[in-house]
Structure 1
Amino acid sequence: MTRPPLLLRTYGGLANLAAPLLFRRIRDRLVAHGTSPARARERLGHATLPRPAGRLIWIHGASVGETLSALPLITALRAQEDPPRILVTSGTASSAEIMAKRLPAGALHQFAPLDSKRALRRFHAHWQPDLLVLMESELWPQMIQTAPCPVVLLNARLSARALARWQSLGPSAAYILRRLALIVTQTEATAAGLRALGVAPDRIRTGGNLKAAAPPPDAAPAALAQITAALTDRPRWLAAATHPGEEDLLLAAHRQLLKSHPDLCLILAPRHPERGDRIAQMATGLTLTRRSAGEAPTAQVYLADTLGEMGLWYRKAPLAFVGGSLTPNGGHNPWEGAALGCALLTGSHLTNCAQDWQTLTDADAARTDLTADTLLPALQDLLATPAAARAMGARAAAVTARQGDDIARTVADLNALMPAKATP
């Protein structure tokens, strides 16, 4: 390949120089969230597991949502007669913890190397991937340029603003995008935008939404039975993945809802469970029990301040508000709740997942664009008409079930890009 444009060379030089300082910040954050220092060094390309024999596909996603969206594909790849091994990388402690629980046999997790030449050189020397699959919008320039194998972008999700930014990069954008052997987009709009950037039509197509095709989160049967027994037949609603600035609004709405539904339970599951103490202090005038304390949902508010148990809460709440959306955090993936038949509500700040929510609203399977003023009426409406809420949840489950139809074709595409045998 020809020499990279000046902008990419400048980026590479700055990224390489900044890597040691950036690593220290990332290491401290990972260790603070329970990652061992040895595993934190994976961000510098130091492997903590041996490379398995055979062909190996490296799948990289930013965090929990992106790595979970790859699970249906990983399962399909591993179900083949001569399956490749799978290496999943991501950047967050929460994604590492969840992948450790949910990856199938033959797949393993490491933290992703920083986008610096030294880290990537160590990483490639050890893992020797036969194919690199990037999820959604993880277009790291040096990761793509240094990959010793074909590179694929799956479940591509680029907003109009992101496409405009790529357009402004001119030759640098074209240089990176030419390196991609295949791009499978979530929507035709993204595909059209990438074609306008110069991606060859035979290297891009629109597929299903892999994030929607991911299996819903598990729920331990014993825990599910305990929660079910404690809730009895009380009406309840879930506030999932909430952020600072939202809990006060949600608790205020719950206080109003209790006037017409005095036995109503709010299951409040913050995005970051370590904020539990602060959130508990906000619940003035309400009774509250906490999952982290081993307590049952017997109060007006049940603070679900644990990690990895969203499967419990979505199964027990017919109505769910998904946070990160009343405040400008970009919103969160609706598909876990949709797969489990929840009637879904969310706010208007959805830059991270607008197309996901649009797919559901087009099917009358979700309500979006809620604000501090319209949240309460929406909740009141669905609590007062449980049949309508159940119908909305059923539509959400049906839409979700249709999203995995493209997986077999994607598996065939990836097989065609890999060598028939492992790289020596």
Structure 2
Amino acid sequence: MSEKSKRDFFRYEDCDLCGDCLYRCRYLNLEREEAVNEMKRLRAGEPARVVHKKCISCYACNIFCPNDCHPYELIISAWHCRYRERGLPVRASYLMPASVPNFRTDLVKTMAQWERELLRKWKETPPQGRLVLYPGCNALTLPHLLHAPYMDGVVISGDFELCCGEMYFRMGLFDVVEKVAEKLTAHYRGREIGTMLFVCPAGLNMFRNVLPGQFGAEFKFETKFLGDHLLEKVVSGEIKIIKKLNRSIALHDSCHGRILGGEVTATSRRLYSLMGLEIREIAGSADEGLCCGMAAGCNRYHPGDMYRAAIKELRAAEKTGADELATYCGGCQLTLAMMRRLYPGRQPVRHMLEYLQEAMGMEPYHPAPGRTLRMLGHVMVKAFPKLLSRKTYLIEV
């Protein structure tokens, strides 16, 4: 890259070139010496021979680094420079949160009337109160997840225009994330909020770590994973588990869930167990898990990369022999459910909150399969025809 990133988040002084971050990656398949040499090239600002070809932006290298040097940000800084020089290919536009419409907002008109009414209510509700939940784009696409008695006492406030910037960050679009940080800081300034809850680990990581720690956002409230809040209510007896589910699940961990650690990964496992679900681990540990495939489009902006990454996880889940594939991230559910259309299997993809609703005695509602079929159709009609176009554009937030 001819222009060095103006935002350099990598901690050069703490890196001892051990190579763990790249050696342990399940996508790069590097030997130790190769991993060290790749890190040397990245540190020197030279083109990497393997990383920038195979990296799917799964974020795991930050977990693997023993010195917390943030190698992930070093990798995606090259994508930041690329964006500043060339912009984004137009084939990516329909998948971006700033586009109107986009692959998520196009689904709203197909939702049930009660779901659309929820979205209208959340958009008009001011973000103030002891407990406020930021729904994020994934929950807005699956509003039934927040339509349950376990949300009593929680103010839900937000809409599709209030983006957390996660997709832009994973693509290395640092200039765009900076604008998102400014917008969110202004939106929440002066609001009386005690704790902000997040149903999506991506939103939680952005609000807690990325936006304030790297892009100057200022938030005066505490942040907490919704699953942690719900676990406390289940343990205390405020939420009653009246139906043990008695089936097995292959548990998918999200990229941001692994970054946040036990607050998300251990909490989710405890909740699943309390609901009577038998957990069958897909990987040896949460840290070693695979991406759902969504982030794989951040490198070359190509849907084929997303498909291949998703299939790798779907196959790994099937090898567990579990009845279903479970996730606590709406984005992971949407991605894996959509790829199930292209790689059919016997395991339905369910969200943790869908299981909780069932365990509480609510009528099961699973819109993701039909919704992702429509999503796939929209993408094929509105994004695929632009695959060969050389036109580029810049994002306006």
Give TM class, smaller chain.
0.3 to 0.5
> What is the TM-score with the length of structure 1 in the denominator?
0.34
Looking at both structures, which has the greater relative contact order when contacts are Cα pairs under 8 Å and sequence separation is at least 6? 2
Provide TM-score, normalisation by structure 2: 0.36
Q: Which has the larger share of helix?
A: 2
Kindly indicate which of the two structures has a greater share of residues assigned to strand.
1
